Amino acid sequence: DAGVIQSPRHEVTEMGQEVTLRCKPISGHNSLFWYRQTMMRGLELLIYFNNNVPIDDSGMPEDRFSAKMPNASFSTLKIQPSEPRDSAVYFCASTRGRQETQYFGPGTRLLVL
Amino acid sequence: GEDVEQSLFLSVREGDSSVINCTYTDSSSTYLYWYKQEPGAGLQLLTYIFSNMDMKQDQRLTVLLNKKDKHLSLRIADTQTGDSAIYFCAGSISGGYNKLIFGAGTRLAVHP
């Protein structure tokens, strides 16, 4: 099992640019989570998908953030326009079911200059 | 809502036992989890305990749950340098899916 795959692993961009983060969940998992980790706020849940449908997006910070899951094997988190305060590590996690254990990807380290 | 608190730092000598503590507020958490994060890596599930259990042992790891005091601990026996990492406690809150609320993480430093 390849585990949760995220790309890119590192991203450096300038303020105002669009950033797209990608995630491939574990095969057979039907729930997907996006998290953000910062020193100040720790790990925060941004959005949760079940069967490709966004169920809980209450953690999405503002309209600059959007997430999609066009199929069971791919999700994106987009920030447009990016700001320096978006600098963080973004994790994707997946589970087999709604109540199952979450498995995390290696994360994307984003730096917005 | 759920709040999870951990001490931020723990230093132990190699070979000693480490005990990482966590308190939580939501008594309805069905499962409580311990995750490990090594530098530059994602979160790795270490172990979890069902809320109707008091203790769970898995090789060098022992999880103790005191539901009355809403206190969770992780004991690592014979701590090794490879155990140096950040350990996160997480509780699940009700709401139709396994929504996790994480503590701030405890940084474990193992020295010779």
Q: Which residues contact B8 (CB under 8 A, 6 or more apart)?
A: B104, B105, B106, B107
Share of chain B above pLDDT 70, in %: 96
Question: Does B87 reach chain A within 8 Å, measured CB to CB?
Answer: no
Strand partners, B107: B9, B86
Q: What SS3 state is found at B9?
A: strand
Contact: B48, A50; criterion CB under 8 Å: no
Backbone CA torsion sign across A79, A83, A86, A90: positive
Distance in angstroms (rounded) separating the CA atoms of residues A65 and B85:
30
Q: Please, what's the largest Cα pairwise distance for chain B?
A: 46
Answer yes or no: are the C-beta atoms of B42 and A106 closer than 8 Å.
yes
Could you tell me which residue, A19 or B98, shows the higher pLDDT?
A: A19
Could you tell me which residue, B26 or B39, shows the higher pLDDT?
A: B39
Phi and psi at residue A84, to the nearest 5°: -55, -35
pLDDT, position B44: 92
Length of chain A: 113
Segments in chain A below pLDDT 70: 1, 98-99
Of the candidates B94, B103, B93, the one whose C-alpha atom is nearest the C-alpha of residue B4 is: B103
Kindly identify which residue of chain B lies nearest to residue A5, measuring between CA atoms.
B42
Tokens of A7: 């790309």
**pLDDT greater than 70 at residue B94:** no
Contact: A104, B98; criterion CB under 8 Å: no
Could you tell me which residue, B93 or B51, shows the higher pLDDT?
A: B51
Distance in angstroms (rounded) separating the CA atoms of residues A58 and B72:
28
Q: pLDDT-derived band of residue B1, with 50, 70 and 90 as boundaries?
A: low
Question: Does A49 reach chain B within 8 Å, measured CB to CB?
Answer: no
pLDDT, position B111: 94
- Residue in B44, B99, B104 closest to A42 by CB: B104
Strand partners, B56: B63
Of the candidates A86, A97, A94, A78, the one whose C-alpha atom is nearest the C-alpha of residue A33 is: A94
**Residue whose tokens read 């199952």:** A100
Kindly identify which residue of chain B lies nearest to residue A92, measuring between CA atoms.
B42
Q: What is the dihedral of CA A38, A39, A41, A44, to 10 degrees?
A: 40
Kindly identify which residue of chain A lies nearest to residue B44, measuring between CA atoms.
A104
Mean pLDDT, chain B, integer: 91
Answer yes or no: are the C-beta atoms of A22 and A75 closer than 8 Å.
yes
